[in-house]
């Protein structure tokens, strides 16, 4: 016990001395330009990974940049923002991603533009996020990248590695509401036009109000493995895509919307043709109307919207005319919409249906009755005849 105490005192002094010198060196380093200060700023033991404070000591400084060809890349990293990021929270080190840097001066950078530099990080997330990395390799963005389109997004275009916050709730295991609301803006950095349409649609405006029942970009397209939406298969699948929610009784009653839309669609001439067509020619594009031909895709509005709603005959007519060029004002009336015929909607169809509902069983039933009684009579007659013979 005693021995230990005696030994500790000088030890503390040595440590304090070194610490003091270290701090002095650090203070000097902060005054001098980073390049000059580098040699004295080396708190990292041989073979050990430099910690984040080492890097941030220089990188929190405002206004420093790196010239890449004719462009200049700001290299300031805000320590507060970084500290709040999921990676900092999970103790991921700067050098876990910047694997080639352990000291200053840094290794030479050959990239001649900022995009070139960013592209060198294409695989830097793979080690820890293998699932997303693998999924992304099957998507449209990777295909575009492979074809030489350098504007296709890298992981870091959608997730700023230095500020990315947690998006999957730790207890829920699901995407947080805040993250979900952010998705369209993430895609909007490149798909501006689509975003503009979506933003004002019935789905997009509800999402902006915090409604998580409506579809956002990734519900219809996927996230990391986005498929090509211009294929015939994707087009033909539209009714199923929409029906995923619009067939859901519990979800739709919240909004007072009919869940009959898929059924009534399938049983009308367009839907029936689509269904038959798909059976006969799997994989080919149907020429009849699918949901999006009438409702739109990114710009879907409330059907009774006075300006764009398709419950308005002239708006609907414009949609029909794309495929039925000769259609005139009362043409849309040929389509019963998603209504089941009822005494209020399409009463004639309703009563004709009703008539047939009873008439056909009555006629068929009558015939069966007639045939059965006839057979009975014949048998009875034959038996009688046999007895008499
Ligand atoms: C002594 C100050 C200093 C330290 C310590 C430092 N950097 Fe830098 N870093 C700079 C300066 C200045 C630039 C920009 C110009 C240049 O490269 O000279 C830079 C550039 C960079 C760049 C962009 C281009 C390149 O050169 O790769 C990255 C990435 C980077 N630093 C990461 C790190 C990481 C990670 C650490 C910690 C291991 C670190 N830095 C430690 C000063 C420093
Ligand atoms: C999760 C991985 C990851 C971590 C952790 C990380 N970086 Fe980066 N860093 C990147 C990627 C990827 C880039 C490439 C540029 C881009 O696309 O944003 C980058 C770019 C940079 C740049 C160039 C300027 C810029 O913002 O593009 C600097 C400087 C830098 N990092 C410093 C740091 C420092 C300092 C730390 C630690 C405090 C750190 N990084 C932690 C992945 C990471
Ligand atoms: C050294 C390992 C490591 C590297 C490299 C790394 N990450 Fe992470 N990342 C983590 C850990 C650990 C988490 C915490 C949640 C988890 O386990 O998925 C995380 C979380 C995330 C999240 C939030 C996920 C959630 O569950 O909320 C995103 C997004 C993310 N990282 C993107 C990236 C990107 C983009 C890169 C490459 C630029 C990258 N990461 C590189 C370790 C890493
Ligand atoms: C085009 C934008 C985009 C690109 C590129 C992208 N992500 Fe994501 N990522 C998202 C969105 C949006 C989410 C939210 C998940 C959702 O919508 O279900 C997400 C979710 C995540 C998560 C949380 C867990 C999960 O799977 O939901 C991680 C981790 C992640 N991404 C890592 C990566 C990595 C690593 C890469 C590169 C291989 C990458 N992301 C590329 C947009 C993107
Ligand atoms: C950094 C830019 C960028 C970001 C961010 C981005 N994309 Fe893309 N996207 C592209 C490029 C480039 C292409 C390929 C060229 C094209 O078809 O427009 C593409 C193609 C697509 C396609 C195929 C288009 C077609 O006509 O075949 C879809 C679908 C798509 N992106 C959806 C998304 C979604 C959803 C998000 C958000 C989660 C997103 N993108 C984020 C750049 C981006
Ligand atoms: C309700 C489902 C749905 C939502 C939500 C959705 N899309 Fe689409 N998207 C589709 C369908 C269906 C197509 C194919 C359109 C066609 O058949 O012409 C498509 C096509 C695309 C295309 C390629 C052709 C074009 O029209 O530009 C891109 C890019 C795209 N979507 C991006 C996005 C982005 C970005 C968002 C979010 C702002 C988004 N989508 C939201 C269903 C959706
Ligand atoms: C993720 C679930 C989901 C998907 C997928 C989805 N919707 Fe919706 N849709 C909703 C919800 C929820 C509402 C109600 C929003 C509100 O009123 O605030 C809605 C509203 C609508 C409306 C407005 C009805 C009215 O007049 O009020 C139409 C039309 C519509 N969706 C058509 C479609 C079409 C077409 C597709 C496929 C391209 C589709 N939806 C895909 C959830 C979905
Ligand atoms: C995307 C193209 C497309 C759109 C939009 C479209 N139709 Fe059609 N429609 C077709 C095709 C193709 C057929 C032929 C189907 C068959 O042969 O069974 C058809 C058949 C019909 C028929 C059956 C009688 C006939 O002429 O063969 C009626 C009635 C009809 N459509 C009404 C409408 C109405 C009303 C609208 C607008 C609300 C509309 N259609 C929108 C493609 C479309
Ligand atoms: C031929 C054009 C056409 C097609 C195809 C079509 N719709 Fe409609 N839809 C309409 C019209 C017109 C209305 C408004 C009048 C009505 O309710 O019938 C409507 C109404 C709706 C409504 C609002 C229902 C309510 O309760 O107010 C939803 C949701 C909807 N459609 C979704 C879909 C879905 C999902 C599909 C594909 C499975 C689809 N529609 C196919 C024309 C169409």
pLDDT of residue 33: 42
pLDDT of residue 35: 42
The torsion angles phi and psi of 184, rounded to 5 degrees, stand at -55, -35
pLDDT of residue 43: 54
Q: How many CB atoms lie within 10 A of CB 171?
A: 5
First to last CA, the chain: 131
Q: Mutate which of 295, 319, 333 to test ligand 9's pocket (most atoms within 8 Å of Cβ)?
A: 295
Nearest CA to ligand 9 atom 17: 338
Ligand nearest to C-alpha 153: 5
Nearest CA to ligand 5 atom 40: 187
pLDDT of residue 284: 79
**Rg from Cα positions in the chain:** 35
Q: How far is the CA of 223 from the centre of ligand 2 (A)?
A: 23
Q: Mutate which of 30, 45, 54, 104 to test ligand 1's pocket (most atoms within 8 Å of Cβ)?
A: 104
Q: How many CB atoms lie within 10 A of CB 368?
A: 10
Nearest alpha-carbon partner for 311 in 293, 289, 294, 299: 294
CA–CA distances in Å: residue 64 to residues 33, 58, 61, 94, 176: 10, 9, 7, 18, 35
The series of mean pLDDT values per 10 residues for the chain, 389 residues long, is 42 52 47 41 66 96 95 97 97 95 94 96 96 94 96 96 96 94 97 97 96 96 95 91 94 93 82 79 81 94 90 87 88 73 67 73 86 91 77
Nearest CA to ligand 6 atom 25: 194
Q: Which atom of ligand 8 is nearest to the CA of 293?
A: 5
Q: How far is the CA of 161 from the centre of ligand 2 (A)?
A: 6
Q: Which atom of ligand 2 is nearest to the CA of 157?
A: 17
């Amino acid at each position: 016990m005693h021995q230990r105490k005696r030994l500790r005192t000088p030890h503390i002094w040595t440590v304090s001395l070194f610490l003091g010198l270290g701090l002095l060196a650090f203070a000097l380093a902060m005054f001098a330009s980073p390049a000059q200060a580098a040699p004295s700023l080396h708190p990292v033991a041989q073979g050990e990974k430099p910690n984040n404070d080492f890097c941030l000591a220089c990188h929190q400084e405002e206004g420093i940049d790196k010239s890449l060809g004719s462009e200049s890349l700001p290299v300031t990293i805000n320590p507060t923002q970084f500290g709040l990021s999921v990676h900092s929270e999970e103790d991921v080190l700067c050098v876990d991603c910047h694997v080639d840097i352990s000291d200053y001066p840094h290794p030479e950078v050959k990239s001649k533009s900022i995009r070139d530099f960013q592209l060198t990080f294409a695989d830097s997330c793979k080690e820890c996020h293998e699932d997303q990395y693998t999924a992304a390799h099957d998507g449209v963005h990777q295909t575009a990248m492979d074809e030489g389109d350098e504007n296709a997004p890298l992981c870091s275009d959608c997730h700023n590695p230095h500020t990315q916050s947690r998006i999957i709730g730790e207890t829920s295991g699901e995407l947080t509401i805040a993250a979900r609301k952010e998705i369209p803006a993430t895609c909007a950095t490149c798909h501006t036009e689509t975003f503009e349409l979506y933003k004002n649609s019935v789905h997009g405006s509800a999402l902006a109000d915090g409604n998580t029942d409506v579809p956002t970009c990734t519900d219809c397209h996927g996230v990391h493995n986005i498929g090509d939406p211009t294929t015939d298969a994707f087009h033909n699948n539209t009714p199923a895509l929409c029906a995923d929610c619009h067939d859901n009784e519990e979800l739709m009653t919240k909004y007072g919307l009919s869940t009959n839309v898929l059924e009534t669609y399938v049983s009308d001439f367009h839907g029936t043709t689509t269904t038959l067509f798909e059976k006969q020619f799997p994989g080919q594009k149907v020429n009849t109307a699918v949901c999006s031909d009438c409702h739109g895709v990114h710009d879907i509005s409330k059907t009774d919207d006075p300006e764009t709603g398709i419950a308005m005959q002239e708006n609907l007519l414009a949609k029909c005319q794309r495929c039925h060029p000769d259609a005139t004002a009362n043409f849309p009336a040929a389509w019963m919409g998603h209504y089941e015929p009822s005494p209020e909607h399409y009463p004639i169809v309703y009563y004709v249906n009703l008539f047939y509902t009873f008439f056909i069983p009555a006629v068929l039933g009558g015939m069966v009755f007639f045939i059965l009684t006839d057979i009975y009579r014949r048998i009875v007659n034959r038996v009688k005849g046999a007895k008499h013979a």
